[in-house]
Structure 1
Amino acid sequence: MSIINRLASALTITLAICTSAHAQEALVIDGETISPAATLAAAKAEGHLVHYGAFPADNIRPIHEAFTADTGVRVDYIRLSSSPLFQRIVSEHQAGALAADFIDLTDMLLIADLVKRGILDVPHKVPSFDAIDATLKEPEGRWYTYINSTTVIAVNTAVIPEADWPTGYKDVLDPKYDGQLGITILDGGSVLAQYGLMRDLSPTYWADLKARNPRLYEGVSPLTTDLARGDLGVAVGPIGELVLAQMRAGAPVRIIFAKEGVPSFGITGGVAAGARNPNAATLFLDWVTSKRGGDAIAKAYAYGANPASAAPVAEGVEYPSRAALIVYGAADWQSKFQPYRDEFLALFGK
């Protein structure tokens, strides 16, 4: 073999070794090991994942984009609210045609049902597992509450003078807001912790709230629309992201985080059993529960599961520390959701 051929052969072997070594590197960013090498390599080979979720598409988009930028793995997103999404997941699973690789919902009772049905039954302890609060994870890692959004009070500043803005949920009961108050009904999981906090403040809080004759809304979009155009002065519900969008558009609205605490509602998910792209889904789960992923979630105006990740950031809004969050875990859902819902709907005549 000529010297040139030997050099060429050596160079080929060296390049192959370097390429193999590079392919086997773990996902490490800013000193944080986010996912092991084998998962990263297999996920890159799959190339994409299908995510069925309940978080609004506009809010999840920057999270998906950050994940793709870090990993090269694309995300296809199918978004529905929790109840119809649950029905779609179950129907596809029964037909042996579940397209989702990663699934999340806002309703912990439906999550528990998916686990029982064997649909959300892929135990996986992410690298940050030990750091994540127990209320935000299933003990074996079948699911994680990886996004924690906030329920808030909001005001129309053209209707309510700043001196009269409520600072907490007790203030909302002031008769001066009569005819100007709108609330969402307790018919879904996004307001469970909020109405639970109200009940903790006073056993008569719900009755006192009803006495103020608030306008009842079954959806957050009509509620925030009426707030922005001045039909309401005060709104209460899981409306932070929508009000922020209105603020950016120039509407005279403002978010208030209650002084008694900040109720949270979670987006809870995990890897689907029988996923076609299980490694890509596992990589996504590792990433969204990391500090890196949590920092991306903060830019979508929510809190990540990783306690080292940043608090949300939005122009004109100062988010509270993570310690102010009131989070309902699986046990709270099991014991409180149905009786609270039934009592609330009966009281308000819905």
Structure 2
Amino acid sequence: MRPVRDVHTRTVQAPAATVGALLDRLAGDDDPLFPVPVWPAMRFDRPLGVGATGGHGFVRYRVTAYEPGRRVRFDFPEGGHHAVEVTPLDAGSCRVTHVLEGRLRGAKRVAWSLAVYWMHATVVEEILDNVERAATGTVRAPVRRSRWVRLLHRLLWERPVAVPVPPAARLARTAFARTDFQDAWQLPLPPGMPGDPAAWKGVLRGAFPEKGRTTTEDGGELLLGQDARHLDFRASLLVESPAVGADGRTVGHGGRVTLSTVVRTHHTGGRLYFAVVRRVHPVLARAMLRRTHRRLALAAPSAGEREPAARSPRAGYRHRTRP
């Protein structure tokens, strides 16, 4: 079976040393190249270097070669590899090349042709956009996501996981002296996402009518609520991030956003009403959090846009691929 080989190149009007220094920060907390938060971050179990194991999203690999400022190669567990290399052209320009090679059989070959290739090609071109942007301050011809890639992106976006109401969600935990129901759903907060809970109000859009709605904010937590004759309802948005930059966006990894719900019923009618509502509540809560999470990620500046650049000459690129 003919191997898969995919090659992307970009000529960047910046010295190889400048671009190589960006490559050395790949997968770090201040990674200026991988297109986060729109795509899952590249992360390893240790700093970038031979032996580091990790990947991005569901793709796993291991660093098997690393020449600082010049080249890094990642090998897949099932065979094959991908690599990034910086090649000097002259004193003020260089070429960046990404190569993927491997052998795929059966279902993996079909998945590559139908879906994985299209997402892979887009991610690589967005990495090259970030190389060019971070090194020069501009991108001559940024990649555009196709309709097919946008659909795959929507379908594969990370789904919230159930967690206990976090200890840091103090407003939710102290909303009622007695709680008849509580749940919480959580998603990671990649670098570049808003760290201000007010930016996440869209999660609860339409959940509460304006009349009678209460809003409370405490640090990284926003609490919205509604009191009625049959039950009282509170929804908490807690944004936890390692650090927030001057632009109000998260930096580093390890942050998370949590949507918590607490309910207090008043009588048998309220308990019967909520017995029905609680069947659909988790589905709606997950959908609202996931939709807003993706919307904010798509609106956030990419890694290269968060990196200050000192120069802004023009740059060009080309892409060739062999399936």
Q: Normalising by structure 1, what TM-score?
A: 0.28
Instruction: Decide which structure has greater strand share.
Output: 2
Instruction: Decide which structure has greater helix share.
Output: 1
